């Protein structure tokens, strides 16, 4: 089964949680933070990333909640 990350995307004046590959929003929230908070439990349960977009649609950040094939290296 392919990984289907959750994306936090602009939705009119609000923010939507949308599963990758879907055209419909799973939920819509007044703030980006509320959308992130709503997406996090599902991402943790399913083991996918939450990809946060800017108002212009570009990716701003992401939160990994699954197995990371490229974990950060310890720099100590």
> Model confidence over 5-29: pLDDT tens digits?
999 999 999 999 999 999 999 999 9
Is the separation of the CB atoms in 58 and 31 below 8 Å?
Answer: no
The CA distance from 61 to 53, in Å, is 7
The CA distance from 28 to 41, in Å, is 16
CA-to-CA separations, 30 to 3, 11, 27, 39, in angstroms, rounded: 27, 9, 10, 14
pLDDT at 68 over 70: no
What is the pTM (predicted TM-score) of this model? 0.82
Give me the residue spans of the domains in the chain.
6-56
């Amino acid at each position: 089964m392919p990984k289907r990350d959750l994306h936090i995307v602009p939705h009119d004046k609000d923010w939507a949680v949308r599963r990758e590959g879907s055209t419909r929003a799973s939920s819509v929230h007044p703030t980006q933070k509320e959308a992130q908070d709503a997406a996090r439990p599902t991402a943790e349960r399913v083991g996918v990333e939450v990809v946060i977009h800017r108002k212009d649609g570009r990716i701003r950040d992401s939160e990994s909640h699954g197995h990371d094939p490229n974990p950060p290296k310890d720099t100590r």
